[in-house]
């Protein structure tokens, strides 16, 4: 420590920013590049502390960009899922494998006939590296109402009601 005019003066060596492998994401091109790098790292199956730290850092940078730039609140979870499937060149059959569910269940989800379970939300958010809130929001299901029961009080009431 040096003294200048009786004030302690500390010399700090700054790290050259050009030597950093990753920086804060500033644009969509950089975002896409980091997403591709993250996907390559995860799919490579490489192990080790350095690889895991690189995955963690990329995930953090991508999530930070998503928080600032994505408006998931404007998109219902199924539209978001369909968009992600398109962006990742995936088909519904890929979701069957990813989620470990039947083709019928995936079809019902994508056609707004069934809601997303907690397990499905967790798996989707992990795979697509999104916050669970992106998939865990209300949306309108297309429910088939049988013509026999049209009285909502009867449909939603206690079991001791007799239907005619």
Distances in Å between the Cα of 136 and the Cα atoms of 34, 55, 87 are 25, 25, 20
Q: Could you give the number of structural domains in the chain?
A: 2
| Contact between residue 134 and residue 72 where contact means Cβ atoms under 8 Å apart | yes
Tell me: do 9 and 62 sit in the same domain. yes
| Contact between residue 99 and residue 123 where contact means Cβ atoms under 8 Å apart | yes
Domain that holds residue 112: 73-164
Confidence band for 2, pLDDT divided at 50, 70 and 90: low
| Residue 53 DSSP SS3 | helix
Please report, for the domain that includes residue 131, its CATH number.
1.10.260.40
Mean pLDDT of 94-111: 94
Tell me: do 62 and 100 sit in the same domain. no
Question: Tens of pLDDT along 130-153?
Answer: 888 889 888 888 876 666 655 555
Structure confidence at residue 159 (pLDDT): 43
Q: Is the dihedral of CA 153, 159, 161, 163 positive or negative?
A: positive
């Amino acid at each position: 420590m040096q003294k200048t005019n009786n004030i302690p003066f500390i010399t700090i060596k700054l790290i050259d920013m050009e030597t950093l492998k990753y920086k804060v994401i500033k644009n969509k091109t950089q975002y896409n590049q980091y997403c591709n790098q993250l996907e390559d790292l995860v799919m490579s199956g490489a192990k080790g502390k350095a690889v895991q730290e690189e995955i963690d850092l990329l995930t953090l940078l991508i999530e930070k960009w998503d928080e600032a730039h994505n408006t998931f609140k404007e998109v219902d979870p199924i539209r978001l899922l369909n968009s992600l499937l398109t962006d990742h060149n995936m088909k519904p059959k890929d979701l069957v494998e990813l989620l470990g569910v039947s083709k019928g269940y995936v079809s019902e989800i994508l056609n707004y006939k069934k809601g997303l379970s907690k397990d499905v939300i967790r798996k989707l958010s992990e795979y697509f590296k999104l916050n669970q809130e992106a998939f865990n929001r209300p949306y309108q299901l297309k429910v088939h109402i049988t013509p026999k029961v049209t009285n909502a009080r009867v449909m939603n009431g206690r079991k001791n009601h007799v239907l005619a």
